[in-house]
Structure 1
Amino acid sequence: SREELLPVLKKPPSSRDEPGEFGHPFIIPHRMGASVERQVEEGYRRHAFNVLVSDVISVHRNLGDKREDVCKTQDKQYTRPLPTMSVVICYKNEAFSTLIRTLYSVLESVPAVLLKEVILIDDFSGNDFTEAVMKEIEELSLVKLSRNTEHLGIVKSRIKGAKMAAGDVIAFLDSHCECYEGWAEPLLDRISRDRTVVALPVMEIINPDNFKFTMTPMQRIQRGGFDWTLTYRWIPPHRDRFLNPTMDMTQPVTSPTMSGGVFAIERKFFNEMGSYDDGMSVWGGDNLEMSFRIWMCGGRIEILPCNHVGHVRPHDVHNDVVLRNKRRVADVWLDDYISLFFKRTPGALKADSGNITSRVQLRHNLNCKSFSWFIEQVYPELYVPELHPRLSGAVCCRLGETLDICLDTHSDDVIPGRPLGVDRYRSRQRTQYFEFTKHNELRHNSVRDVCVGVTSSHKVEIQRCKFPFDNHETAPPSQQWEISESGKITNKETQLCLTASTAKVWVQDCDVTNVRQKWKWK
Structure 2
Amino acid sequence: MPEFSIIIPNKDEGERLLQTVRSVLDSQGPSFEVIVVDDRSRRPPDLHGRWPNVTQLDGPGLGVAPARNFGASRARGRYLVFIDAHVWVPPDWLARIERALRADPTLAAVSPGIAVEGDVGTVGWGLTWDERLSIRWLPRPESAVAEVPLLPGGCVAVRKEVFDSSGGFNRGFRGHGYDDQEFSLRLWLLGHRLACLRDLTVVHHFRTEFPYPVEPWHHYYNQLRMAVSHFNEERIGKVLSLLRDVIDPSLLLARLFTDDTLEDRRRWLEVRAHDDDWFMSRFGIPF
CA RMSD in angstroms, aligned pairs only = 2.2
Residue 125 of structure 2 contacts residue 196 of structure 2 at CA under 8 Å; is this kept in 1? no
Aligned equivalent of 1:194, options 90, 105, 110 = 105
Aligned to 2:273: 368
- Closer/same/farther in 2, CA of residues 138 and 105 from structure 1, 3 Å limit: same
Residue 160 of structure 1 pairs with residue 63 of structure 2: no
Structure 1 pair 348–118 and aligned structure 2 pair: CA distance change class (3 A): farther
Letter in 1 for 2:54: V
Flag the structure with larger Rg. 1
What is residue 221 of structure 2 aligned with on the other side?
A: 324
Aligned position for 1:269: 162
For the residue of structure 1 that corresponds to 2:46, the secondary structure is helix
CA-to-partner distance for each residue in 1:269-316, whole Å, 9 max, x for gaps?
101112111111122111221121111111122110121111100115
Counterpart residue identity of residue 234, structure 1:
W
Give, in angstroms, the shift of residue 344 of structure 1: 2.1
| Structure 1 residue corresponding to 2:39, chosen from 113, 119, 123 | 123
CA contact (8 A) 2:124 2:138 kept: no
Residue 100 in structure 1 maps to residue 9 in structure 2:
no
- What pairs with 1:479-518 in structure 2 (closer than 5 Å)? none
CA contact (8 A) 2:125 2:198 kept: no
Q: Deviations over 1:207-243 (max 9, x none)?
A: xxxxx25145xxx7543012354332224455xx4xx
Report the equivalent of 2:4.
85
Whole-Å separation in 1 of the counterparts to 2:71 and 2:148: 25
Q: How does 1:368-517 map to 2 (within 5 A)?
A: 368-377=273-282, 379-380=283-284, 382-384=285-287
Q: Describe the superposition over 1:69-104 as per-residue Cα deviations: whole angstroms up to 9, x where unpaired.
A: xxxxxxxxxxxxxx810000011111x221111001
2:69 aligned with 1:141: no
* Mapped partners of 2:165, 2:267: distance in 1: 10
Residue 327 of structure 1 contacts residue 348 of structure 1 at CA under 8 Å; is this kept in 2? no
2:25 is aligned with what amino acid? Answer: L
What TM-score do the two structures reach when normalised by structure 1? 0.49
User: Is 1:234 the counterpart of 2:132 in the alignment?
Assistant: no
- State the Cα deviation string for residues 20-43 of structure 1 (Å, max 9, x = none): xxxxxxxxxxxxxxxxxxxxxxxx
> Contact (CA 8 Å) 2:228, 2:262: kept in 1 or not?
no
Q: 1:214 aligns with which of 83, 98, 120?
A: 120
For the residue of structure 2 that corresponds to 1:165, the secondary structure is coil
Question: Which amino acid in the other structure matches residue 272 of structure 2?
Answer: N
What's the secondary structure of 2:249's corresponding residue? helix
For 1:349, the equivalent position in structure 2 comes to: 249
Q: What is the distance in 1 between the residues matched to 2:203 and 2:96? A: 16
Distance in 2 between the 1:213 and 1:87 partners? 25
SS at 2:202 equivalent:
strand
Quick one: distance in 2 between partners of 1:146 and 1:222? 31
CA gap of 1:140–1:103, structure 2 versus 1, over 3 A, is same
CA distance 1:121–1:237, shift in 2 (3 Å): same
Q: Which amino acid aligns with 2:130?
A: D
Q: How does 1:25-40 map to 2 (within 5 A)?
A: none
What is the one-letter code of the residue matched to 1:143? V
Deviations 1:449-480 (A, max 9, x none): xxxxxxxxxxxxxxxxxxxxxxxxxxxxxxxx
Aligned residues: 273
Paired residues of 1:155 and 1:286 also in contact (CA < 8 A): yes
Aligned with residue 127 of structure 2, among 224, 246, 250: 224
**Separation (CA, whole Å) in 1 of partners of 2:50 and 2:261:** 43
More relative contact order in 1 or in 2 (CA 8 Å, sep 6+)? 2
1:232/1:153 CA distance change after superposition, 3 Å: same
Match of residue 334 from structure 1? 231
Distance 2:53 2:91 in 1: 19
1:284 correspondence with 2:181: no
Q: What amino acid sits opposite 2:16 in the alignment?
A: T
Q: Which runs of 5+ in 2 are unaligned?
A: none
Q: Once structures 1 and 2 are overlaid, which stretch shifts more, 343-352 or 323-332? A: 343-352
More displaced stretch, 336-345 vs 256-265:
336-345
Q: Distance between the aligned counterparts of 1:228 and 1:324, measured in 2?
A: 19
| Unmatched 5+ stretches in structure 1 | 1-82, 207-211, 242-248, 385-522
Shift of 1:348: 6.1
CA distance in 1, matches of 2:148, 2:183: 13
- Give the match's secondary structure for 2:120: coil
Inter-partner Cα distance in structure 2 for 1:123 and 1:181: 27
Question: Equivalents in 1 of 2:28, 2:231: separation in Å?
Answer: 39
Q: TM-score, normalised by structure 2?
A: 0.87
The question of 1:204 aligning with 2:110 is answered no
Percent identical:
22
